[in-house]
Amino acid sequence: DAKTTQPTSMDCAEGRAANLPCNHSTISGNEYVYWYRQIHSQGPQYIIHGLKNNETNEMASLIITEDRKSSTLILPHATLRDTAVYYCIVRVALLMNRDDKIIFGKGTRLHILP
Amino acid sequence: DVKVTQSSRYLVKRTGEKVFLECVQDMDHENMFWYRQDPGLGLRLIYFSYDVKMKEKGDIPEGYSVSREKKERFSLILESASTNQTSMYLCASSGTSGRYTDTQYFGPGTRLTVL
Average pLDDT score over residue span A46-67: 95
**pLDDT tens across B21-43, in order?**
999 999 999 999 999 999 988 89
So what's the pLDDT on residue B68?
97
Confidence of residue B72 (pLDDT cuts 50, 70, 90): very high
In this structure, are residues B46 and B58 in contact, taking their beta carbons and an 8 Å threshold?
Answer: yes
Cβ atoms within 10 A of the Cβ of A67, count?
9
Nearest to B114 by CA among B73, B83, B71: B83
Three-state DSSP class for residue A17: coil
Confidence of residue B101 (pLDDT cuts 50, 70, 90): confident
So what's the pLDDT on residue A93?
67
Nearest to A89 by CA among B82, B73, B104, B100: B104
Strand bridging mode A84-91 / A108-113 = antiparallel
- Asked if A105 lies within 8 A of B42 by C-beta distance, the reply is yes
Residue A66 to residue B3: CA distance in whole angstroms: 34
Q: What is the residue-wise DSSP string for A1-18?
A: ----B--SEEEEETTSPE
What is the radius of gyration, based on Cα positions, of chain A? 14
Using the Cβ of A42 and the Cβ atoms of chain B, whether some distance falls under 8 Å is answered with: yes
In angstroms, the Cα distances linking B5 to A78, B19, B88, B108, B109 are: 27, 17, 14, 7, 8
Confidence of residue A91 (pLDDT cuts 50, 70, 90): confident
Among B35, B100, B107, the residue with its CB nearest the CB of A95 is: B100
Among B35, B45, B96, the residue with its CB nearest the CB of A95 is: B96
Among B42, B96, B101, the residue with its CB nearest the CB of A103 is: B42
> If you measure CA to CA, which chain B residue comes closest to A87?
B42
Confidence of residue A99 (pLDDT cuts 50, 70, 90): low
Using the Cβ of B51 and the Cβ atoms of chain A, whether some distance falls under 8 Å is answered with: no
